[in-house]
Amino acid sequence: MSVAAATGVERIAGAFARAKAERRLAVLIYLTVGYPDRESTGSLLRAAIDGGADLLELGVPFSDPLADGATVQRASEVALANGITLGDCLAEARSVVAERDVPVVLMGYTNPFARYGYDHFAMVAAPMGVAGVIVPDLPAEESGAFDGELDAVGMARIDLYAPTTPDERLARLVPVSRGFVYCVSLTGVTGARRTLGADVGSFVGRVRRHTALPIVLGFGISEPAHVSALRGLVDGVAVGSAAIDAVTAASDKPAALRTFVRGLVEAGRS
């Protein structure tokens, strides 16, 4: 099945299936579009893929990223100063999907999508090959209008679940998830951490009871040791702040990111 013919949901499933067949965790890499500058986004996305990333999260910059810590906030501020819009993020997604067989999801806040128009976004994004969206400030209970448009074109809206999510809410919402289930490793905002939460195992177990979809753990995962510790517990890891930190600190930014991602991928092998 070609990338053009497959739906977003199918492409996401295929990425996790390939990682599983290779006996490793899938690696999702988040990068803010337009950071550190507009021109370097494409080369960084391709460097992440060359390092072994299975899925890409393209960060849509926003002025009030309430779920994000200092690293992503700073990247978002720079990207906005560089004039990046949702349209630019869609263009980057289209470019990379046309070249590489890697699912791309956009991660951003409600306002840019609502202003663009949920129906217009779905109509434009699906033919470009965007597989889905993650919208941290759009609860599932309020997402019906967006979900309807995305479902119609085979795209996934992926919810975030925190360790504090009650069992009742998990039982009600997780079974109708699409794409994958995104578990947040801690209560708080994004950002590299030295250790993972002590309750990650029990939390993932609570989620696992309600779905056969892949489970991805994100927020705070920043080094290969974290990935190694999660083998056998989750199906994938999402890494954002640490990837941006690797880019920020390097002179040869694509090479540094490629090496960083490769280390995560190797750490996730059984």
Check residue 160 and give left, alpha or beta (phi > 0: left; psi -120 to 50: alpha): beta
Give the three-state DSSP class for 155.
coil
Q: What is the CATH number of the domain that holds 32?
A: 3.20.20.70
pLDDT, tens digit (0-9, with 9 covering 90-100), for 37-92: 999 999 999 999 999 999 999 999 998 877 667 899 999 999 999 999 999 999 99
Question: How do strand 181-184 and strand 130-134 relate by DSSP bridges?
Answer: unpaired
> Is position 244 within any domain?
yes
Q: How many domains does the chain have?
A: 1
In this predicted structure, which of 2-11, 28-37, 136-145 has the lowest mean pLDDT?
2-11
> Is position 113 within any domain?
yes
Q: What does the angle CA 170 – CA 173 – CA 174 come to, to the nearest 5 degrees?
A: 70
> Is position 117 within any domain?
yes
Query: CA dihedral defined by 55, 172, 126, 97, rounded to 10 degrees?
Result: 0
Element (H, E) at 29: strand 26-32
| Full-model pTM | 0.93
Q: How far is CA 44 from CA 19, 29, 105, 226, in A?
A: 22, 11, 16, 23
> Is position 2 within any domain?
no
Closest alpha carbon to 33 in 43, 25, 22, 19 = 43
> Is position 3 within any domain?
no
Give catalytic residues, as residue numbers.
57, 68
Element (H, E) at 18: helix 8-21
Is residue 196 within 8 Å of residue 221, measured between CB atoms? yes
pLDDT over threshold 60, residue 1: no
> Is position 258 within any domain?
yes
Euclidean distance between CA atoms 103 and 69, whole angstroms:
25
Euclidean distance between CA atoms 1 and 128, whole angstroms:
16
> Is position 56 within any domain?
yes
What contacts 41, CB < 8 A, 6 or more positions away? 31, 33, 34, 35, 92
Mean pLDDT over the full length of the chain: 93
> Is position 1 within any domain?
no
Radius of gyration of the chain (CA): 17
- What pLDDT score does 270 carry? 78
Give the three-state DSSP class for 46.
helix
- What pLDDT score does 187 carry? 53
pLDDT, tens digit (0-9, with 9 covering 90-100), for 116-155: 999 999 999 999 999 999 999 999 999 999 999 999 999 9
pLDDT, tens digit (0-9, with 9 covering 90-100), for 177-205: 999 999 998 754 444 445 566 689 999 99
Q: What residues make up the domain containing 219?
A: 8-267
In this predicted structure, which of 11-20, 31-40, 185-194 has the lowest mean pLDDT?
185-194
